[in-house]
Amino acid sequence: MPDPIAFGTWKLPPDDETARVILAACQAGYRRFDTAYAYTNEPFVGDGLKQSGIAREQLFISGKLWNSKRQFAAAQKACRKSLKNLQIEFFDQFLLHWPASPAVHTNWRDITAEAWRALEKLKEDGVVRTIGVCNFKVHHLEALMDMAQIAPEINQIELHPGWLPQKEIDFCNKHGIQIEAWSPLGNGLLLNNPELQQIAQAHSKTPAQVCLRWCMQHNVIPITKTTHPDHMKSNLKIDDFCLTNTEMQCIDAMPVCAFSGLDPDTITQFG
Ligand SMILES: NC(=O)c1ccc[n+]([C@@H]2O[C@H](COP(=O)([O-])OP(=O)(O)OC[C@H]3O[C@@H](n4cnc5c(N)ncnc54)[C@H](OP(=O)(O)O)[C@@H]3O)[C@@H](O)[C@H]2O)c1
């Protein structure tokens, strides 16, 4: 049974402040951590985890292959470099950060396929325990699964009230792919939403707790990030209330809001 919530590390600075945040998150009770080479803070995340004194087997650490490292040899090297940065021997989970963008590459399928073969080899070699993807829409998943020896176990996508990618949820549920939600609080933009505030009030909870509980009731693992110890603790307290069907449907039906604007098919800046 995976932890119901992961702790995110995007936008944490590449300095000792990050080690302090990660240590505080460990002390608050987080054991599942989402990291990425692209966040430029892996060594400091590693320091915080080390300072916590928590045994490696009790932690679940996820990493990501950045887009400039999709060639087979480069990917092998990049994964090992991330492990070294984090001062660990293996990843519990290692993900492709983005599919190659169809807006940039006509051969996006081949590029993603080469990166996936590298992840399969890393798994075979025992360097990573599970492999998956981020930001894959259904057609990216179909293309990957056509060539894959090992099917992806995770798809980490943007998902929050005001952004519910139903096609991806249905596809992943059908194929046994666990969804993780990035920006489950809409990167903090959802916390003043009147509908969420009203539902939160009815349960004596915060809007953040409602967003995270809504993910959980959709069988999605939210990855949330905060630098405040009181938010760290309260964000974990989501197993003592239940959203009603009506509340779930009301949140599901919220109009688009807090969307990052990052569409994996059209972004060009990530390649
Ligand atoms: N795979 C991908 O492409 C991808 C993309 C984006 C993100 N991610 C991952 O997903 C993680 C989460 O995304 P995110 O950082 O946008 O997460 P988020 O949890 O939706 O938003 C984080 C923001 O919410 C605030 N916050 C958190 N809890 C709060 C609370 N209880 N009350 C008030 N404010 C609160 C934080 O501010 P304070 O720090 O001030 O509390 C922060 O500004 C990232 O850190 C990263 O690990 C992955």
Instruction: Identify the pLDDT of residue 3.
Output: 77
39 is catalytic: yes
Q: pLDDT of 119-152, one tens digit each?
A: 999 999 999 999 999 999 999 999 999 999 999 9
**Atom 38, ligand 1: which residue's CA is nearest?**
226
Assess contact for 131 and 93: CB atoms under 8 A: yes
Residue 35 clears pLDDT 60, i.e. is over it? yes
Percent of the chain with pLDDT over 90: 95
**Burial status of residue 107 (CB atoms within 10 A of its CB: 0-12, 13-18, 19 or more):** exposed
Listed by start position, the domains of the chain span: 6-252
Going from the Cα of 6 to the center of ligand 1, the distance in angstroms, rounded, reads 11
List, chain by chain if needed, residues with CB within 6 Å of any ligand 1 atom. 8-10, 34, 97, 134-135, 156, 182-188, 191, 206, 208, 223-228, 231, 234-235
How many whole angstroms separate alpha carbon 271 and alpha carbon 162? Answer: 26
pLDDT tens per residue across span 201-245: 999 999 999 999 999 999 999 999 999 999 999 999 999 999 999
Mean pLDDT of the 166-182 span: 98
Rounded distance from Cα 105 to ligand 1 centre (Å): 30
Query: What value does the mean pLDDT take over residues 178-191?
Result: 98
36 Cα to the center of ligand 1, angstroms: 14
Reading the block at residue 121, the tokens are: 């080899």
Q: Which CATH class is domain 6-252?
A: alpha beta
